[in-house]
Structure 1
């Protein structure tokens, strides 16, 4: 049995400042740090004591700070991988969201979507985005570890899941797995059929502890 716990980082400064995230290296807000603590505790409660666990994270500050809370409770160092980053949205990070909204060209309802030009100079195509997430996932899944934790971004979650269920990259143009920030998505593969399940998507029940404090 293999279980992956995919964490979407909690509230970061770009959320409250109204700027585009992407590769802009924003930090967790105090609210985000409290949520990261809650995420770590929730994960610790789900993984049996003594079980082997691995931790992987995007290398941006908001994901790394989240991973650090998990690392402290599990006693494992995060493996940082820039391929787990969010989709970049142009060469200059930290632009106001309205700046991106004015330039963004949405993909067509039919036709080429993976190589579609979104109208923002320096932005990554959906194909390139998916391919790097798939490459990271291929390496992660080569590790024979029963419990693996991946700390990433909301946009990246879609391609973590499509990679997990072995959807070909070229077929992922319409895929969208939405989950709120600060959530945990649980993926599981059984040892008999080797079926890959999406056990839950975007679970935020652990946040009840934050609101109760």
Structure 2
């Protein structure tokens, strides 16, 4: 049986400063560090002692710091994969959210949502974003680990889950698995039927203590 725990990084500086995230390399806040420790404890309680675990993380500082907390308790060093980064918002990254909001061109309700140009120089299309997450997941799923932890970002999680389910990229125009920062999503594949389950989506109970 394969279990994958997908973690969205907790509170980061761009959240509290009202800045656009994306590839802007923000850090965890002190509250975010506390939440990362809570995530690590929750995973330690779920993953059996002595189990071989693979830990893969986006390479941005906020996800790396989260992965360090997790790796410390699980006894594993995180492997960094830039393909697990959040969507790139190009020239908007690190600017006030209001700057992006004034210039953002929303996708059409019907039509080419995957290739839609949002009007922001350097911003990824939904298709480009999904494509690199799918590429990362293709590699991760070839690794022979019973327990894997992926540390990524809120919007990126949608495509991690979609890749796990096996949804074709061209069907993702309207898909959104919305979760909170600091959440844990549990994916599982059984050894007999090899069915892939979404066991738990966006769980944040570990942050309540």
Q: Secondary structure at the match of 1:173?
A: coil
The residue number in structure 1 matching 2:172 is 172
Please give the alpha-carbon distance, in whole angstroms, between the structure 1 residues aligned to 2:162 and 2:68: 26
SS in 1 for 2:100: helix
Displaced runs of 4+ in structure 1, greater than 3 A? none
* Structural RMSD (CA): 0.7
Cα displacement (A) at 1:166:
0.3
Write the distance in 2 (CA, Å) between the matches of 1:161 and 1:173: 14
DSSP-derived class of the 2:172 partner? helix
Hey, what does 1:47 align to over in structure 2?
A: 47
| Partner SS state of residue 136, structure 2 | helix
Match of 2:91, SS? Answer: coil
* Structure 2: gaps (5+ residues): none
Cα displacement (A) at 1:92 = 5.2
Alpha-carbon distance in 2 for matches of 1:61, 1:160: 20
Q: Distance in 2 between matches of 1:135 and 1:91?
A: 25
Task: Identify unmatched segments of 5+ residues in structure 1.
Answer: none
TM-score, length of structure 1 as denominator length: 0.97
Alignment of structure 1 residues 56-95 onto 2, 5 Å: 56-91=56-91, 93-95=93-95
Deviation of 1:175 after TM superposition, in Å, equals: 0.6
The residue that corresponds to 1:104 in the other structure is: 104
How many residues align? The count is 209
- Cα-to-partner distance string for 1:157-189 (whole Å, 9 max, x where unaligned): 000000000001111111100000000000001
1:184 aligned to 2:199?
no
The aligned residue for residue 124 of structure 2 is 124
